[in-house]
Amino acid sequence: KQKILKGIFWEKRLSRAKFLFIFLFIILWSRFFYLQIIKHSYYYRKAKERSIISYVIRAPRGEIVTSDGIVVATNRAVFQLYLDPELIKDKEDEVLYRLSKILKEDFGSLKEKYYLAKKTFLGRVLIKRNLNWDEVAKIMVRRYYLPGVKVEVEAERYYPYGEAYFHLIGYISRITLKEYNKLKNKGYSIEDYIGRAGIEKMFERELKGKNGAIEIERDAYGRLGKIINRIKPIPGKNLVLTVNHNLQMKAYELLKNKKGAIVALSPKDGAILAMVSSPSINPQKFIDGFTEEEWKKISLNPDKPFLNRVLQPYPPGSTYKIITAIAGLEANVIKDVNETIFCPGYFKFKSRIFRCWKAIGHKNVNLIKAIAYSCDVYFYTVASKLDVDYLAKISRKWGLGKLTGLGWSEEKAGFVPNRAWKKKKFKEPWYPGETIIMGIGQGYLLTTPLQMARVYMAIANGGYLYKPYVVKEMKLNKNIITINPQIERHLVLDPRFLKWIKEGLLEAVRIGTGKLAFIPGLIVAGKTGTAQVISLSAKKDKFLEPHAWFVSYAGYSQPEIVSAILIEHGGHGGSVAAPLARKLYEAYFGIKELQ
């Protein structure tokens, strides 16, 4: 009986043990199933992250080429030294010290640069760019002792013509954390560079390309091993510009040591042939880096080298008299080309005296002579008979007071005043004397050099106001996208009026205020401008001198080029800006310079 009871006892114990074993087995199997099946992808990814590291291969930006085949923005292969903070935790100082010995740099300075970059940017830290072969060799043979260190061959942006193309091409710089968070879903990496101005900014999407990637094994110490996988980057599109390289370089040369702008257009389609603003900056410095002293000098420069003066508003001075003439003709204020106005050197309107730039006066002048000699009294008289709102309407019709359609964020619209604006702004009515001043391009009126070039383009080509454009083709391998010119509007002007204005512009260069732009054998027509920035009585130093303008077009049988030249505080347009136009046209047409 005892044996039977003992057997039952052990049988129960055994059953319980079996049940417990089966229960534990089920729990272990369930956990195993959860880890191996349900969470397989998660742990596979985590394991891979520990053994394999992935880096971005930045896509080469597209090249920028002028219409005559000169590459003005390209990429060059350089060795870049990176350090990955994730792979050298608690070893940073040790690795940096070894690198300082290889690079022959001060350890303290290298450490400071590393920690500053680590704080500023996510991801890998660029320790040194453009390594030489000797430095690369020394790093590669010591790789075992340099965990987290990677030497990459990358395509770095290169601007061979520096300052000459700064305001046209623009520049690129490293993407910020804020920009990265906004653009990461569009294929940007934290190591990318982004266009900041000009063509680089306007065509960022086309120039950027698509980044690739590389996967590399790493051991427990953070040392990098063999390459597991590589996805090739797709380069950005190449851009072919409308710009003529020789003309661009000549414009840059003409503006050296001056503060101003030159823009040249094709009257046939509005293509930009040259665009230069001075002073300028070498865009390569945004890649190579500025010293603290260099950056301070540029950022605090009162001449504002970042400013693209081609797209900034200025009082147009006498170059605007063409608009006043058109308004006078269309309003029948100027009834005939031979109708004369007597200029005694001043114009009296009620109790005010408005003076002509020529104190002794121009005597009797008709429309053509008034344009040629830039007679203020003639245009005072015409403007006094015009309503300011009508003059403003004609101005806007010819593209003033609004953006040109170029599409650049740097462009300003200028300003064309009217009665409603004056009432809203100053709580005052518009006075007739303000219309008289506006008639010679002064007062509240502001225009950009690009806008004035478009006005004269429309005169030169018979009334076609094209939107300016600078890229004519985009290329990727054998695929070519052509960008066609766009007409904003066809300005219908009485053929007689157009003929008279053209005659006046021709005479201005032949015998008038623009005669220093005259070139034998070439048709040059244009208008000078001397835009006062303060009253003459207050003039004390160079900074208060008037802006010098010359807007013109040139060609042999037909106009082939239009240009607007502005020299800030340069003095008189006829003596300062017109000679620059002559040199610009001599370069464009291959004419030997006149002595």
Catalytic residues: 318
The token duo for 105 is 């740099």
Q: What is residue 304's DSSP assignment?
A: -
Bridge partners (DSSP) of residue 525 are 553
Backbone conformation region of residue 184, classed left if phi is above 0, alpha if psi is from -120 to 50, else beta = alpha
CA separation (Å) from 127 to 84, 111, 148, 171, 284? 10, 10, 12, 22, 18
| CA atoms of 170 and 193, how far apart (whole Å) | 13
Helix (H, G, I), strand (E, B) or coil at 337: coil
Pairing mode of beta strands 238-241, 64-65: parallel
Residue whose entry in the numeric block shows the structure tokens 């766009």: 486
Q: What is the DSSP letter of 124?
A: -
Task: Please tell me the chain's helix, strand, coil percentages from 3-state DSSP, rounded to the nearest 5.
Answer: 45, 25, 35
Token digits of residue 92: 């940073």
**CA pair distance 290, 156, nearest whole angstrom:** 16
What SS3 class is residue 500?
helix
Are 197 and 174 in contact, with CB atoms under 8 Å apart?
no
Count of alpha carbons within 13 angstroms of residue 285, beta-carbon side: 13
At 559, which helix (H) or strand (E)?
Answer: strand 559-567
Rg from Cα positions in the chain: 35
How far is it between the farthest Cα atoms of the chain? 150
- Environment class of residue 422 by beta-carbon count within 10 Å: exposed (0-12), middle (13-18) or buried (19+)? middle
Convert 130-196 into a string of H (helix), E (strand) and C (coil): CCCHHHHHHHHHCHHHCCCEEEEEEEEEECCCHHHHHHHHCCEEECCHHHHHHHHHHCCCCCCEEEC
CA distance 577 to 581: 7
Determine contact, residues 576/582, Cβ cutoff 8 Å. Answer: no
What is the DSSP annotation of 29-40?
Answer: HHHHHIIIIITH
59: tokens are: 């896509």
Integer angstrom CA distances of residue 572 from 47, 508, 530, 567: 75, 14, 5, 9
H or E element in which residue 377 lies: helix 376-384
Comparing CA positions, the residue from 85, 89, 71, 244 lying closest to residue 149 is 85
Please choose, from the candidates 343, 389, 341, 385, the residue with its C-alpha nearest in 3D space to the C-alpha of residue 366: 341
